[in-house]
Structure 1
Amino acid sequence: MASKKKGNRIVIRLKSTESGHFYLTEKNRKNDTARLELRRYDPFVRRHVLYKEEK
């Protein structure tokens, strides 16, 4: 069996800045080299807050 080439997409974890909640998502490491910061819904505080990518 031939081994698979390492792809450009990696799984990242977006962690809430206001609680311990997190989302798992993918990003393309070739196109998006900087860390992601998105506003997503946080069910713990029940509103939209900033989520930052953590390693």
Structure 2
Amino acid sequence: MAKKSEVRTIIKMRSTAGTGYTYMTTKNRRNSPDRLVMRKFDPRLREVVEFREER
């Protein structure tokens, strides 16, 4: 089994709509040192909203 690299870290993406819904994903710290912002589906609102990286 492949060993996980320390460059990729697990991050939590929280909805900016205030529903408290989160996604878990990984990101490469070398390629994207800033906080991630993605548009993803929030099932509580049933629409696509911005999700921001939480630390």
- Name the counterpart of 2:47: 47
Larger deviation, residues 6-15 vs 37-46: 6-15
Ranges of 4+ aligned residues in structure 1 off by more than 3 Å:
none
State the AA in 1 paired with 2:53: E
- Name the counterpart of 1:38: 38
How many aligned residue pairs are there?
51
Shift of 1:53: 0.2
Question: What percent of counterpart residues are identical?
Answer: 41
Shift of 1:45: 0.3
State the AA in 1 paired with 2:31: N
TM-score by length of 2: 0.87
- Name the counterpart of 2:10: 11
> Gaps spanning 5+ residues in structure 2: where?
none
Shift of 1:7: 1.3
Structure label with greater radius of gyration: 1
TM-score by length of 1: 0.87
